[in-house]
Amino acid sequence: MNREEKKKKVLDMLKDQVITQAQALDLLELIAHETTEKKTSEPEPLAREVEITPPNLPFDFFGQSDYRFSFSEPVRKSQIAELRVIGKNSQINVMTHQKSTIDIKGWYKATRNNNPMITFVEQDNVYVLNYNVHGVKHLGCDIYVPEEMLGLIYIENSNAPVDLRGIEAKEIGVLTKNAPISIRGCISERLIAATKNSDVTVKQVQSKVLDVTTTNAKIVVNDTFAFEGEFKTSNAMIFLQDSGITKSYYETKNANLWIDLTTIDLRGRYEIEGRTTNANIEVLLPDQQDVSYQISGATKRGAIITDRSDLRIRARDKGYLVAKTYDYDTSPSSVNLNLQTTNANIKITETFY
Global pTM?
0.84
Question: What percent of the chain has pLDDT above 70?
Answer: 88
* pLDDT value, residue 298: 97
Give residue-wise pLDDT tens across range 43-61. Answer: 455 445 445 444 443 333 3
Please state, as a whole number, how many other Cβ atoms lie within 10 Å of the Cβ of residue 351: 12
Task: Write 263-266 long-range contacts (CB < 8 A, 24+).
Answer: 264/335, 265/333, 266/291, 266/333
Give residue-wise pLDDT tens across range 1-48. Answer: 677 777 777 777 777 776 777 777 777 777 776 644 444 444 455 445
CA distance between the termini of the chain: 60
Asked whether residue 180 carries a pLDDT value surpassing 90, the answer given is: yes
Alpha-helical (H) ranges within the chain are 3-15, 21-32
pLDDT grade, residue 288 (50/70/90)?
low
Spatial separation of the C-alpha atoms in residues 251 and 277, rounded to whole Å: 9
Spatial separation of the C-alpha atoms in residues 310 and 290, rounded to whole Å: 10
